[in-house]
Amino acid sequence: MDYFKVLLIISCLFCLISGLGDEDITCRATSCKNAVCDPVNSKCSTSITNSGVYMLSPDICNCCEYCLQNLAQGDTCSVGDPSQNKFTSICGPGLACLVSSESSSDGTCQPMSTSCAKEQQSYDIRRKNGYLGTMETRALCDEDGFYGKYKCIPGQSCYCLHSNGSRIFGEKNYNTLNDYMSCACSRAYYDAVDTIGRELYPHEHFKCNSDGSFASLQCINEECLCVDSQDGAPTYPDDALVKIDEINKETLPCYTSTKQGQYYTKCEKEFLNIYKEVQELKRKNSYNLILGYKYPKCDLDGSYQAVQENFTHKYCVDKEGNMLTSPILKTNSLAAAMDCKCVRATLLISTAEKPSCQENGNYEQVQCRRGVCRCVDSDGNQKCSSTTKLCEEMDEKESTKLTCS
C-alpha cells in the first residue's frame, strides 16, 4: 500500500512540474470544466464491502475520481513498476502481492504473513474445525496486516494495542463499549517513545483519557488549547494558546475544573515537584543527594500507574493511588512479575462475574466463568495449545486438572 501512495505523490508532482511553464496553474472552480476523466473501475462503484480504495486523482487539481480496485485472493497483481503511469488495482485488505522472484513485478494476491494476519488465519481454521474456546475472540487487523487499535475480553474489558500487538495504556469496561476505542492518544505516545528512545515526562506529552483517546484539554510547555478527543486536532485552530495559569471556563471552553489554572493531577504534581528538585540538585552538582528521591509512576491520563514501588516493596494501587494489594518485597518472585492488570480490571467490570487475581494483582492462570474453566495469558485472554490447536476447557469441578504453561 505504501508503495502506491508514494507513486501517486510522485505522479502528482510530475503533473505539477510539467505545468511550470504555464503562467498560472492555480486551481479554481472552473479548472475541471473541460477535464477528461477515465471511468472509475466498475467494482469500485458497487456496494460490495472492501470493493476498492478511493484516492486523490494523480492529475492537476484532482479533477477526476480515482479508485484502486481491490483484488481477491489468487488474483494477478503487481508490486509496482516505474514505467506504469497509473495503477488500477491493489490487493484487498489482509492480502499482499507475492511475486515468484526479485526480478519480477507481477505476482498473485495471497494472505499476509504478519503476526496479526496469522492469528486471524489460525482462528478461522479452528472455528471451521470446531476447536474455538468459549472466550476466544478474533484478532482485529488493519488493511496493512498490523494489529487493530484494541482487543476485548468478552464480559470483562477492552484495552488498547500497539500496532505490533503489545498492550499499551487505555482500558474500558466491555459492557460500555458502544462503538469503538480510538486509542489514538495512547498510540501516538508510544510511537513517540519508539522514536525518542525513552518514556516522556508528564509535561512533555499530550494527556490521554482513560480509554486511550485524547483529553480535550492539553497543556504543553505551559501553554494550553482544546483538542478533538479522536485525533488530537485543535478544536478552535484560530484561537490563541492560553497560559496554563490562566485557563478557566471562559478562556477555554473545554475546561471543566472549578479552579483556575488546574491542569496537572496529584500524581503529575508529585512527579514534577521531584523533577524540579532533582534538576536543581544537578545544577548544583549535588548528584549524591539525587539517590534519595523516588518518582511516582503516572499513567498517560495523569492517574497513578497500577504498579507502584518504594525502595523495598512493590504494590498495586487504583488510579487515585490507594493501595489495592499488600506490599510485596522486591526480592520475591511475585514482585518481579507484578503487573496488577487483573486487580485493576475488577475495578472496571460492572458485572458480578469478575476474574480471579493472584496475590500480586496479576491474573490467575486458570479462570472460570459460568462453570467453564480455561487458561489465560497475562492480559486475561484465553490461551490455546500450540500443539493441538485446541483451546482446552474443563468443568469448574475439574479445573485443578487444567495445566497452563
Give the model's pLDDT for residue 16.
42
Return the bridge partners of 70, or none.
Answer: 90
* pTM of this structure: 0.79
270-292 residue pLDDT tens: 999 999 999 999 998 887 888 87
Distances (CA, A) of 310 to 293, 315, 316, 390: 10, 9, 12, 43
Give the model's pLDDT for residue 177.
84
What whole-number distance in Å separates Cα of residue 189 and Cα of residue 200? 8
For residue 85, give the C-alpha cell. Answer: 503511469
Secondary structure in 3-state letters for the chain: CHHHHHHHHHHHHHHHHHCCCCCCCCCCCCCCCCCCCCCCCCCCCCCCCCCEEEECCCCHHHCCCEEEEEECCCCEEECCCCCCCCCCEEECCCEEEEECCCCCCEEEEEECCCHHHHHHHHHHHHHHHCCCCCCCCCCCECCCCCECCEEECCCCEEEEECCCCCEEEEEEEHHHCCCCCCCHHHHHHHHHHHHHCCCCCCCCCCCECCCCCECCEEEECCEEEEECCCCCCECCCCCCCEEHHHCCCCCCCCCCCCCCCCCCCHHHHHHHHHHHHHHHHHHCCCHHHHHHCCCCCECCCCCECCEEECCCEEEEECCCCCECCCCEECCCHHHHCCCCHHHHHHHHCCCCCCCCECCCCCECCEEEECCEEEEECCCCCECCCCCCCCCCEEEHHHHHHCCCC
Angle at 162 between CA 167 and CA 51, to 5 degrees: 130
Give the model's pLDDT for residue 389.
62
Give the model's pLDDT for residue 399.
84
* CA-based R_g, the chain, Å: 27
Under 8 Å between Cβ of 140 and 158: no
Give the model's pLDDT for residue 85.
65
> How is the chain split into domains, by residue range?
2-111
What whole-number distance in Å separates Cα of residue 375 and Cα of residue 385? 10
Q: Other CB atoms closer than 10 Å to residue 146's CB: what's the count?
A: 17
Question: Tens-digit pLDDT profile for the chain (405 aa)?
Answer: 444 443 334 344 444 444 444 455 678 878 888 888 888 877 786 666 678 888 887 777 888 888 888 999 999 988 876 666 667 888 988 889 998 877 777 899 998 999 999 999 888 988 888 888 889 999 999 988 999 999 999 999 999 999 999 999 999 999 888 778 999 999 999 999 999 999 999 989 999 999 999 999 999 888 999 999 999 999 999 999 999 999 999 999 999 988 888 999 999 999 999 999 999 999 988 878 888 788 999 999 999 999 999 999 999 999 999 999 999 999 999 999 999 999 999 999 988 899 999 999 999 999 998 899 999 999 999 988 655 567 888 998 888 888 887
Under 8 Å between Cβ of 292 and 311: no
For residue 382, give the C-alpha cell. Answer: 484465553
Give the model's pLDDT for residue 24.
57
Cα torsion at 196, 202, 204, 205 (round to 10°)? 80
What whole-number distance in Å separates Cα of residue 215 and Cα of residue 227? 7
For residue 102, give the C-alpha cell. Answer: 526479485
43-65 residue pLDDT tens: 786 666 678 888 887 777 888 88
Give the model's pLDDT for residue 84.
65
Q: Other CB atoms closer than 10 Å to residue 40's CB: what's the count?
A: 16
Distances (CA, A) of 340 to 265, 286, 305, 344, 356: 21, 36, 9, 6, 12
Under 8 Å between Cβ of 95 and 107: no
Alpha carbon distance, N-terminus to C-terminus of the chain: 39
Give the model's pLDDT for residue 387.
56
Least Cα distance to 162 among 199, 196, 192, 200 occurs for 192
Give the model's pLDDT for residue 194.
93
